[in-house]
Amino acid sequence: MLHGRVARGLWFGLGLSLLLGLWEVAARITANPGLFPPIGDVIWAFIVWWRSGLLVEDVAESIPRALLVLALAAPIGMTIGLALALFRPVRWMFDAPLQLLRSMPPVALLPLFVLWMGIEWQAKVFAGVFVCVFPIAITTAQAARTIEMTYRELATDLRLSFATYLRKIVIPGSLPGALPGLRLAAGTSFVMVFVSELAGADAGLGYRISLAQLSFQAALMIAGLLVLGTAGFLTDLALTRMFRRVFQYAGR
Amino acid sequence: MPEDEACDVVDLSDIRVRIADNDILRDVSLRVPSGEIVALMGPSGCGKTTLLRVITGATAATGIRRVNAKYGVVYQDLKLLPWLSVMDNILLASGSADDSIADARALLYSVGLEEKEHVFPYELSGGERQRVALVRALAGGTKFLLMDEPFSALDFVVRHRLVEQVERLVRGKGISLLFVTHTLEDALALADRILVMKQGQIVGEFANDRRYPDAAELTRDSIVRLFEEGSAQ
């Protein structure tokens, strides 16, 4: 039996070749490279896209926007989450409306934001932030309530001021719990970037994919999707790593 | 004896706690004089922890409740903050003024943890964590210590040493102690007085004079009998 990294690498390679093999077989069976291109075509489309310089342009347009959305949504969502957990009146006032807003499909909100703010980048960022705040707020609130239940008594018995309680107990205790919400939000932010570029743009991954669709370039569409997927995956990985580093104490 | 030493650190009378039509505590009266060590025993669910929480004010009760001294609590689950070092856990309430740090260091030294000041709770053994919680509860001039099953989940040797350390600290500083325990040995080893609770009431009170082993034997027998009565019902 193989152990550790080598075994893991081998299994990973096996899984990947299995998926690629299935793809290749499906492409041969359908025998319509225009609609269902084999891997070779997709790789070629990717290389052409890269060489043209448009790939860099598209990535530079879309990815920073997704990250900006996340960077703005995180502090807003965490603050709302803490307020919901700590102040009952806030919870009573805003919990139900929040649940309602959260239940609206993010994509469905976009037309309204476009109507309000046009198709400039501000509209796209605003729409992204608006929908990304909810998962972050809700997971932060849950984590903060657990902290409240565990440590409120301690804070009272030690006669801690509210500021100290917040700074030393609630914030460091709750923020690690925001990670699942942040990961959800990261996924959503990429969805929003993609969709908002369908609504009007002149560059970006979403724009490129929709353009490729209009010109029946399935290979380029798939290449675009793979780039988008990879960016999402790397963001998720970075978030998880960062949280593990910053909040080393979580889970101990 | 000076006036403030003579008074009770806690004075409860006719305390009653009702939750959803159940009496969790009923007609409980309790006085703990300054410097006394009191053990609170009784079957699970008899209201021991609730009584501690009534004293700290965490559980609302009817009746008269007076707490006349700065209290500190060692919780059953300790409630050490995993993201703070040992020292920061202890200084939570007092802040990092020089004399607070000196006070904390002296306490850490007295329980043999002077080397662990910068260590995080997860790096400590169970017994060490218990002692950190003890130090945190005592820091800042605590005069009345409340402990909820402080010695459970510790092995024999650690437990024995901790009981000794608690006794030395508490007696040395003239601190009153009220502790909940399931172990008769701990109660007999440490307490001046042992209270037995059952179904929300204090049903027995025993002086525990450790100078007379025969008396301790009698106390033990009486308490065991009281417990057996409960389980026979």
List, for residues B138-176, the tens digit of each pLDDT value.
998 899 999 999 888 788 888 888 999 999 999 999 999
Domain count, chain A: 2
Q: Same domain, yes or no, for A121 and A153?
A: yes
A143 assigned to some structural domain: yes
Q: Same domain, yes or no, for A205 and A132?
A: yes
Give the C-alpha separation, B85 to B11, whole Å: 36
What are the sequence ranges of the domains in chain B? 3-69+143-232, 80-141
Query: 3-state DSSP helix/strand/coil percent for chain B, to nearest 5?
Result: 40, 25, 35
- Whole-complex ipTM: 0.88
Q: What pLDDT shows up at residue A251?
A: 58
Q: Are B56 and B9 in contact (CB under 8 A)?
A: no
State which residues of chain A have pLDDT below 70: 1-2, 199, 250-252
pLDDT 10s digits, B84-107? 999 999 999 888 888 999 999 999
> In chain B, what residues touch A157 (CB-CB under 8 Å)?
56, 58, 71-73
A58 half-sphere exposure, CB direction, 13 A CA radius = 25
The class (CATH top level) of B3-69+143-232 is alpha beta
Q: Same domain, yes or no, for A56 and A20?
A: no
Q: What chain A residue is nearest to B139 in terms of C-alpha separation?
A: A158
A251 assigned to some structural domain: no
Q: What does B31-62 look like in DSSP terms, one character per residue?
A: EEETT-EEEEE-STTSSHHHHHHHHHTSS--E
> In chain B, what residues touch A159 (CB-CB under 8 Å)?
93
pLDDT 10s digits, A145-156? 999 999 999 999
Q: What pLDDT shows up at residue A2?
A: 59
> In chain B, what residues touch A153 (CB-CB under 8 Å)?
53, 56, 58, 75, 79
Q: What is the residue range of A161's domain?
A: 37-246
Q: Same domain, yes or no, for A110 and A10?
A: no
Q: Same domain, yes or no, for A64 and A183?
A: yes
**Total-model pTM:** 0.83
Q: Same domain, yes or no, for A20 and A75?
A: no
Provide the 8-state DSSP code for B221: H
Q: Same domain, yes or no, for A125 and A2?
A: no
Q: What chain B residue is nearest to A153 in terms of C-alpha separation?
A: B58
Q: Same domain, yes or no, for A44 and A13?
A: no
Q: In this model, does residue B222 exceed pLDDT 90?
A: no
Among partner residues B56, B79, B120, which is closest to A151 by beta-carbon distance? Answer: B79
Any CB–CB contact under 8 A between B91 and chain A?
Answer: no
Choose from B50, B83, B88, B132 for mutation: most chain A CBs within 10 A.
B83
Q: What chain B residue is nearest to A159 in terms of C-alpha separation?
A: B93
Chains A, B: CB contacts within 8 A come to: 44
